[in-house]
Amino acid sequence: MTQQQRTNEAQSYHQFGLRKVAKTKAPKDQKFPIGSRVKIAKDLGAGMSHFPSDKLATVMHTYAHAFGGNHVKSYCLDVDGHGQISWYEEHQLTLEEE
pLDDT above 90: residue 67: yes
91 Cβ neighbours under 8 A, 6+ residues apart: 73
Say how many C-beta atoms besides its own lie within 10 A of residue 32's C-beta: 20
Q: Which residue segments constitute the domains of the chain, with CATH numbers given?
A: 3-95 (2.30.30)
Global pTM?
Answer: 0.89
pLDDT above 90: residue 97: no
What stretches of 3-98 show up as alpha helix (H) in DSSP?
Answer: 3-23, 63-67
Say how many C-beta atoms besides its own lie within 10 A of residue 31's C-beta: 15
What stretches of 1-98 show up as alpha helix (H) in DSSP?
Answer: 3-23, 63-67
Phi, psi of 58 (to 5 degrees): -115, 135
